Amino acid sequence: KAGVTQTPRYLIKTRGQQVTLSCSPISGHRSVSWYQQTPGQGLQFLFEYFSETQRNKGNFPGRFSGRQFSNSRSEMNVSTLELGDSALYLCASSLSAGSENTIYFGEGSWLTVV
Amino acid sequence: AQSVTQLGSHVSVSEGALVLLRCNYSSSVPPYLFWYVQYPNQGLQLLLKYTSAATLVKGINGFEAEFKKSETSFHLTKPSAHMSDAAEYFCAGGTGFQKLVFGTGTRLLVSP
């Protein structure tokens, strides 16, 4: 059974550009969440989607957005990139909506903003 | 608000020694708790999860954690460290909607 797949794994963008990251959850998983990991702030929750609806959002500016498709795949977008957006972006999936569902993470997408 | 505290940003042990990584949580509602491990340049791998079914939780690679409500703790242990255990370990907790709150992480260093 394939795990959570994220693409691209590495990318370099210029300040002011936008970026789209993709996530394919584990087959059968309907909940997808995104996290940002930086050396200074650690792991921070961005947002979570279930059945194409955003159910929860972290404290990030509106430049960070996401969506989920009917096949549960998800994308996140960051517009007007800033140097501080350089981070590892992790996608996670779980089976459904229950709080006790195990959350599995992907390998992440490394974003460098120059 | 839910918060997770990991004591010690770095822990050093010798190969074969006991590993103890500390995690405390704060919540008025019984949480669900996780330990994840992250190897260099990789994502997070689940070690174990507390589900309220048992206070002593066994995970992969010989790790286990004990949930102690009276101490609001969920410390991770392994009886005998191996060189391959060197990594960063994260304790995380949540109360719903898959939103996890992570501790700041503890880097485990294992010396021969």
At B60, list the tokens.
Answer: 């992969």
Please tell me the predicted confidence (pLDDT) of residue B32: 84
Q: Render the burial of B37-68: b for 16+ CB within 10 Å, e for the rest.
A: bbeeeebbbbbbbbeeeeeebebeeebbbebe
Give CA–CA dist B109/A112, Å, rounded. Answer: 28
pLDDT above 70 coverage of chain A, percent? 96
- Distance separating alpha carbons of residues B95 and A101, to the nearest angstrom: 11
Would the pLDDT of A1 be above 70? Answer: no
pLDDT tens by residue, B29-63: 667 899 999 999 889 999 999 877 788 999 999 99
Q: Which of A23, A100, A101 has the highest number of chain B CBs within 10 A, making it the mutation to test binding with B? A: A100
Residue with tokens 């999860």: B49
At B29 the pLDDT is 61
Tell me which chain B residues have a C-beta less than 8 angstroms from the C-beta of A9.
none
| Tokens at A11, concatenated | 């990318």
pLDDT tens for residues A34-78?
Answer: 999 999 899 999 999 999 999 889 999 999 999 999 999 999 999
The pLDDT score that the predictor gives to residue B28 is 65
Pairs of residues, one from chain A and one from chain B, whose beta carbons lie less than 8 Å apart: 64
Judged by CB atoms closer than 8 Å, whether chains meet at B99 and A106 is answered as no
Per CB-CB distance under 8 Å, the chain A contacts of B92 are 43
Residues of chain B contacting A103 with CB distance shorter than 8 Å: 34, 46, 98, 100
Question: pLDDT-based confidence at B98, cuts 50/70/90?
Answer: confident
Query: For residue A107, which residues of chain B lie inside 8 Å, CB to CB?
Result: 42-43
Among the partner residues A33, A43, A44, nearest to B98 by beta-carbon distance = A33
